[in-house]
Amino acid sequence: MIAAVFLMALAGVVVLWPVPEVHRRLASVAGVSERGPGGRWDPWTAVWAGPVAAVVTFGPAPAIAAMLVAGLVTRQRRRAERAAEADRDLRNLTAALAVMGAELSVGAPVVQACRAAASELVSADGDGPVGLELSRMAARAELGGTPGIASTTSAAVRRFAEAWSTSLRYGLPIGDVLAALRADLVARQEFAARTRAGLAGPRATAGVLAGLPILGLLLGEAMGAGPVGVLLRTSVGGILLVIGTGLSVGGVLWSARITDQVVSR
């Protein structure tokens, strides 16, 4: 049992190990996700050292509880990173659409407008997906091709590609289509900001409720009851530790799911 838990913890470290830079570049060229936090070592992978230390020191039950906590920390961090990347892409695309609208209003071709917007984004955001994909789409259109659906994981860029393709397919004025898309993106960002502000209280409440068991353990230790020793050194305590940790982790995940569904609408 101990060996199995140790191998599971080791597998978690392997899964979270950073992807080499060459793999990231190949994934960027292919337009797929590299399934990794980046090309450098990520200090957050150290949270998986907790289960390893727990299985060596206290046994399998505390190790399983530590694995649940480490998995929760990793998932919440990746969730926050994905949300931040999506917000950044939306802001960049909104800025790019403003540049394209200005270029189109003075009679510039759509390819030139797209290239100008891409140049500004690349200079401001570096290798962000929006600027790079706009450059590729402008190059394809300049060579006589169609922008098509962008080969990227960025939802914002896919929306832009679909809008451009719709304009070409049905003969709609590209300026009007992009203006409508920009208005929709601005409205979505404003709604998301208001919703996040309104959910700050419920999220804080969920965090406090998830941390109440820890407060109970501290109070028990202060009173001399020794609950930590019971949880770590007895069979029944180990079972209760796993069950309690699982319920707390499940509560955090469920509350995050509810709030994410509200924000994404």
Which residue ranges make up each domain of the chain?
89-189, 199-265
Any alpha helices (H) in the chain, and if so which ranges?
2-16, 21-30, 49-57, 60-105, 110-125, 129-142, 155-170, 174-198, 200-222, 227-233, 235-264
To which residue do tokens 């009007």 refer? 176
Instruction: Judge whether residue 6 has pLDDT over 70.
Output: no
Q: How confident is the model at residue 142 (pLDDT cuts 50, 70, 90)?
A: confident
Question: What is the average pLDDT across 62-86?
Answer: 88
Task: Determine the average pLDDT of the residues in 168-197.
Answer: 92
Both tokens of residue 140?
Answer: 């394809």
172 contacts 110 by C-beta, under 8 angstroms: no
Whether the Cβ atoms of residue 9 and residue 55 lie closer than 8 Å to each other: yes
Query: pLDDT band at 233, cuts 50/70/90?
Result: confident
The tokens 């004025």 sit on which residue?
Answer: 173
How many angstroms separate the CA atoms of 185 and 143, rounded?
29
Task: Express as a percent the part of the chain with pLDDT over 90.
Answer: 32
Cα-Cα-Cα-Cα dihedral sign, residues 78, 82, 85, 91: negative
pTM: 0.72
Lowest average pLDDT, out of 21-35, 78-92, 188-202, goes to 21-35
Compare 190 and 19 and report the one with higher pLDDT: 190
Helical residues (DSSP H) of 143-173, grouped into ranges: 155-170
Mean pLDDT (the chain) is: 80
Closest C-alpha among 156, 153, 114 to residue 137? 114
Percent of the chain beyond pLDDT 70?
74
